[in-house]
Chain A
Amino acid sequence: MNYVFQFNVVWEHLPELLAGALLTIQLSATAMALGLGVAIVCAYGQSAGPRPVRALISGYVELIRNTPFLVQIFIFYFSLPVIGIRLTANGAALAAMTINLGAYASEIIRAGIEAIPRGQVEAARALGLKPLQTFRLIIIFPAIKTVYPALASQFILLMLSSSVVSTISAVELTAITNSLQSTTFRSFEFYFVATGLYLAMALGFKAALSTIYWAVFQRGRAA
Chain B
Amino acid sequence: MKMRPKWLAVVLMLVLPALAAMPAYAESTLDKILKEKKIRVAIDVGNPPFGILGKDGQPDGSDVAVARQMAKDMGVELEFVQVPSTGRIPALLAGRADVTIASISVTTDRAKAVMYCHPNGALSIVIFGPQGVAITTPADLAGKRIGITRATLEEATVPKMAPPGTNIVWFDEIGATIQALLSGQVDAVAMTSFAGKTVADGNPDKKIETKLAVTTAYYAPIVRHGDFELREWINTWIFINTNNGVLAALYKKGTGVDLPPLPIF
Which residues of A line the B interface, CB within 8 A?
A: 1-3, 77-79, 81-82, 86, 89, 166-169, 175, 178-179, 181-183, 185, 187-188
Contacts and interface: CB of A to CB of B under 8 A. Distances in A.
Interface of B: 86, 89-90, 93-95, 109-110, 112-114, 147, 150-151, 155-156, 169-173, 176, 179-180, 183-185, 224-226
Given A167-B172, A175-B170, 20 more contacts: A77-B180, A78-B179, A78-B180, A78-B185, A79-B183, A81-B183, A81-B184, A81-B185, A82-B183, A169-B147, A169-B169, A169-B170, A178-B170, A178-B172, A179-B150, A179-B170, A181-B86, A185-B90, A185-B114, A187-B89
B87 to A, nearest CB: 8
Contacts of B176: 167-169
A219 to B, nearest CB: 45
Nearest to A87: B185
Given A78-B185, A169-B171, A187-B90, A1 B95 contact: yes
B86 A182 contact: yes
Contacts of B93: 3, 185, 187
Contacts of B183: 77-79, 81-82
Contacts of A86: 184-185
A204 B150 CA distance: 30
A166 B150 CA distance: 11
A178 to B, nearest CB: 6
13 contacts: A77-B180, A77-B185, A79-B183, A82-B183, A86-B184, A89-B185, A167-B173, A168-B171, A169-B147, A175-B170, A181-B86, A183-B109, A185-B89
Contacts, number: 64
Nearest to B186: A169
Contacts of A187: 89-90, 93-94
A104 B185 CA distance: 29
Nearest to B151: A182
Contacts of A78: 179-180, 183, 185
Contacts of B172: 166-167, 178
A185 B112 contact: yes
Nearest to B177: A169
B90 A181 contact: yes
Nearest to B112: A185
Contacts of B95: 1
A166 B170 CA distance: 9
Contacts of A169: 147, 169-171, 176, 180
Contacts of A166: 172
A2 B226 contact: yes
A53 to B, nearest CB: 32
A179 B172 CA distance: 9
Residue among A1, A86, A89, A182 with the most chain B CB within 10 A?
A182
Nearest to B26: A2
A2 B92 CA distance: 12
Contacts of A79: 183
B109 A178 contact: no
A185 B110 CA distance: 8
Nearest to A185: B113
B185 A167 contact: no
Contact of B169 (A2, A82, A89): A89
Nearest to B179: A78
A132 B93 CA distance: 61
Nearest to A182: B151
B217 to A, nearest CB: 16
Contacts of B110: 185
A2 B156 CA distance: 27
Nearest to B182: A78
A81 B151 CA distance: 27
4 interchain residue pairs of minimum CB distance? A182-B151, A185-B113, A187-B90, A182-B150
A183 B180 CA distance: 22
B47 to A, nearest CB: 14
Contacts of B179: 78
A167 B170 CA distance: 9
